[in-house]
């Protein structure tokens, strides 16, 4: 429930944050603060050795953090920033990110797994919905194509990170893994933000109270609570359960965007979004939690089949 509701609300919080905060700078701040707070809590509760990992585990956690947070989240933040007509509405971004389970199925197939036929039917249905959603509509409310493709790239990065998380040697403790993922993601986001000139043009006094509050919400609800819960689920729950967030989040995001910031819900959004969610639901429902778990070279079950 935490991942369902809180993550669904973060798309709107991102939109409000980037109204007056530089896009990637805000994302870097979000994960840097959340990661450092979580590290401090773990050290206080468990002692000086709480965050100890070997070099390989550190590298793996850093890679996953870059894919999930710098690539996955950072590109969503970029897509939601910008003037009207260029930025992707928060609800649309959530609908596009809902393709993550579909992309994971494709990655599994490329890795030699053979999901059921109905799973592939769900993938096809979901991508048909994606096409319907971004198809030029010839109206002012059409989904910006460049922004939509940016979100699809973000979903791809997130999918690769989720897929690899069970196939490489990660820290055994999901909370410790989360710390290093957040720090690595924040560092990459900060470097890219500096390269874009965001840090040079960043003036905290010009940021609205509304944006600061939204950023605080993202740090606490989106990162410390929801992202940590997601990483824990990847370690402890079947992917068929974990993936259900992908068709609940969009409903929350679209509703909040329409109610709080008057984002338009056009027939195209309703149709394309419904088809995407139906495809994701079909994929999740046809995945069998009891399937045998392939063991990776690191000796752990794959992320798609972890329990």
DSSP the chain: -HHHHHHHHHHHHHHHHTTTS-HHHHHHHHHHHHHHHHHHHHHHHH-TTTT---HHHHHHHHHHHIIIIIIIIHHHHHHH-SSTTTSPPHHHHHHHHTTHHHHHHHHHHHTT----HHHHHHHHHHHHHHHHHHS--SSTTSPPHHHHHHHHHHHHHHHHHHHHTTTS---SSHHHHHHHHHHHHHHHHHHHHHHTTTTTT--GGGS-HHHHHHHHHIIIIIIIIIIHHHHHHHHHS-HHHHTTHHHHHHHHHHHHHHHHH-----HHHHHHHHHHHHHHHHHHHHS-TTSPPPB-TTSSB-GGG--
Show the domain range for 24.
2-305
Q: Which residue has the tokens 């909370």?
A: 175
Range 166-194 average pLDDT: 93
How many domains is the chain built from?
A: 1
Mean pLDDT (the chain, rounded)? 84
Q: Give CA–CA dist 155/163, Å, rounded.
A: 12
Banded pLDDT at 303 (limits 50, 70, 90): very low
Give the pLDDT of residue 166: 79
Banded pLDDT at 141 (limits 50, 70, 90): low
Q: Is the pLDDT of residue 54 over 70?
A: yes
Q: Is the pLDDT of residue 293 over 60?
A: no
pLDDT 10s digits, 71-99: 999 999 999 997 776 789 898 898 888 88
Q: Give CA–CA dist 143/16, Å, rounded.
A: 19
Range 226-237 average pLDDT: 75
Q: Facing residues of 184 across strands?
A: none
More confident residue, 267 or 233: 267
Give the pLDDT of residue 299: 33
Range 12-27 average pLDDT: 95
Decide if 51 contacts 159 (C-beta within 8 A).
no
9 phi, psi to nearest 5 deg: -80, -15
Q: How remote is the C-alpha of 97 from its chain's centroid?
A: 7
Banded pLDDT at 288 (limits 50, 70, 90): low
And the tokens for 264? 């338009």
Measure the CA dihedral 304/88/223/284, to 10°: -20
Q: Give CA–CA dist 190/29, Å, rounded.
A: 8
Q: Is the pLDDT of residue 226 over 90?
A: no
Give the pLDDT of residue 241: 62
């Amino acid at each position: 429930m935490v991942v369902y509701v809180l993550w669904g609300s973060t798309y709107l919080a991102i939109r409000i944050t980037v109204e007056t905060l530089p896009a990637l700078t805000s994302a870097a701040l979000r994960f840097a603060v959340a990661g450092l707070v979580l590290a401090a809590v773990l050290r206080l509760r468990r002692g000086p050795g709480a965050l100890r990992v070997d070099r390989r585990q550190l590298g793996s956690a850093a890679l996953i953090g870059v894919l999930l947070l710098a690539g996955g989240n950072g590109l969503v933040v970029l897509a939601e920033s910008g003037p009207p007509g260029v930025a992707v509405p928060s609800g649309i971004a959530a609908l596009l990110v809902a393709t993550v389970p579909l992309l994971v199925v494709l990655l599994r197939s490329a890795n030699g797994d053979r999901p059921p036929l109905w799973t592939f039917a769900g993938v096809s249905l979901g991508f048909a919905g994606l096409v319907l959603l971004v198809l030029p509509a010839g109206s002012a409310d059409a989904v910006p194509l460049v922004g939509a493709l940016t979100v699809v790239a973000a979903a791809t990065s997130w999918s690769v990170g989720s897929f690899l998380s069970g196939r490489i040697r990660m820290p055994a403790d999901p909370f410790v893994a989360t710390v290093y993922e957040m720090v690595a993601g924040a560092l990459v986001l900060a470097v890219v933000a500096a390269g874009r000139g965001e840090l040079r043009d960043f003036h905290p006094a010009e940021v609205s109270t509304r944006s600061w509050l939204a950023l605080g919400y993202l740090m606490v609800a989106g990162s410390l609570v929801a992202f940590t819960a997601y990483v824990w689920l990847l370690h402890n729950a079947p992917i068929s359960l974990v993936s259900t967030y992908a068709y609940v989040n969009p409903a929350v995001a679209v509703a909040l965007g329409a109610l709080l910031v008057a984002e338009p819900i056009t027939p195209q959004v309703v149709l394309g979004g419904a088809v995407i969610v139906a495809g994701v639901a079909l994929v999740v429902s046809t995945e069998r939690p009891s399937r045998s778990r392939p063991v990776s070279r690191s000796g752990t079950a794959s992320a798609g089949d972890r329990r």
